[in-house]
Amino acid sequence: MVTAVYPGSFDPITNGHLDIVTRACALFDKLIVGIYDRPDKQMLFSVEERVALARESMADFHNVHVKSYSGLTVDFIHKEGGRAMIRGLRMNSDFEAEFEIAAMNKKLAPDIELVCLMASSEYQCLSSKLIKEVASLGGSLKGLVPEHVAVALNNRLARVKLEASTQRASRRNKISQQ
Ligand code: ADP
């Protein structure tokens, strides 16, 4: 039984990620989607929320499991008994970043093979970052993320906007009282 791990931040999961999951789980007996809890960038959703959104998106896949992890990705892959690490490649920029990480991972864990799948043409330009930008400007997310992810995104962004405007109002209040 060969297990592969597909790691990432998935903030939130998109149809581009799901395309990679669909293709990878046809190649391996078991696929674990590993959601990194504290990436080096600001997250919109907590790790628990990212896991829940991903799990709901993959409810129909019988050999896919979603788990969160912290620490080194190769340690997580070892812990899960994984032999391969899956990554999706979109453009040149992905390639350079993956190449660097792959060289380091090979030193840390020579037994883990990196398997890169090329993004399908319709998802080449799709990223979680872009999805958040489109959603915050009120654009349609149809065909880009599952329906429940679009709902979660719109709710979260509305909350973020409300919090920001409440903070601005309270700052203005403080200044006017000085
Ligand atoms: P991002 O790079 O968008 O912040 P992640 O860290 O969650 O997203 O990415 C996890 C993996 O999925 C990475 O290998 C990334 O290159 C890949 N990936 C992200 N979006 C797509 C897409 N649209 N098509 C194919 N692979 C993708």
Q: Is the pLDDT of residue 142 over 90?
A: yes
Measured CA to CA, the distance from residue 12 to residue 18 in angstroms comes to 11
90 is catalytic: yes
pLDDT at site 93: 75
Of 37, 112, 29, nearest in space to 65 by CA: 29
pLDDT range class, residue 91, cuts 50, 70, 90? confident
Structure confidence by residue, pLDDT tens digits, 32-86: 999 999 877 889 999 999 999 999 999 999 999 999 999 999 999 999 999 999 9
pLDDT range class, residue 176, cuts 50, 70, 90? confident
Atom of ligand 1 nearest to the CA of 127: 3
Give yes or no for a cis peptide into 12 (omega within 30° of 0): yes
HSE of 36, CA atoms in CB hemisphere, 13 A? 19
170 is catalytic: no
| Helix (H) or strand (E) run with residue 165 in it | helix 147-177
Protein residue with its CA nearest to atom 4 in ligand 1: 128
The pTM score is: 0.92
- Full residue range of the structural domain in which residue 73 is found: 3-177
CB 96 within 8 A of CB 81: no
What is the CATH number for 13?
3.40.50.620
Q: Which amino acid is at 111?
A: D
Number of domains in the chain: 1
